Amino acid sequence: MKKIPAILLLMALALCLAIPAHAQIHFGLKGGVNLSKASLTNVEGNFKKDNFTGFFIGPMAEFGIPLTGLGVDASLLFAQRGVKVAKEGFEATTIRQNGLDIPVNLKYTFGLGSLLGVYVAAGPDFFFDFKKSDLVDKKKAEVGINVGAGVKLLNHLQVGANYNIPLGKTATIENGEGAYYKTKTWQVSLAYLF
């Protein structure tokens, strides 16, 4: 077990040494719309699932290595996610997830220099829920995978679309049947880098 921290430290040191001296870091602001939908498991009866629309906003940083097209971006976002479900004959129920969303993406950009670029990105997403629910037992922390793509304009503006897939349960439903759901989310974002 003592070898694992030493190996992680050596990997971090090697990464720092491998990064060229002319690497660039930019800070900015990112915001957009979340469109979430639930994936129900072990739930009996006819349930209707509707999309839940929320938003996200917060600071971001982008670290890029010039001439390679490779980079990493990370954001610290206040985000609204949620789920809308309705059992046949009953009123729809909305379960909100207000929390802190931290996506970290490896990004590859190709294009026409600083005027126009197209990027693809993928990486982990960490979501920390602030709000407790009386209806379900929501996880306080959730890990997911992001995949996305977008365009960069004039080296400052980015417009993108992203899909977030949770790796575990978003919440369990107390019905004695082991029911749970996952909240899968489409994101459309606009970012401005300074």
User: Quick one: tokens of 85?
Assistant: 């479900």
CB atoms within 10 A of CB 178: 10
Which of 121, 119, 108, 133 is CA-nearest to residue 183? Answer: 133
User: Hey, which CATH number is domain 23-193, 2.40.70.10, 2.40.160.20, 3.40.228.10, 2.30.140.10?
Assistant: 2.40.160.20
Domain boundaries, the chain: 23-193
Please report which confidence band the pLDDT of residue 80 belongs to, taking 50, 70 and 90 as the band edges.
Answer: very high
The pTM of the full predicted model, rounded to 2 decimals, is 0.80
Cα distance between residue 77 and residue 102, in whole Å: 6
Q: By three-state DSSP, how is residue 154 classified?
A: coil
Check whether 95 has a pLDDT greater than 80. Answer: yes
Write the pLDDT tens digit of every residue in 39-79: 877 776 667 777 899 999 999 999 988 778 899 999 999 99
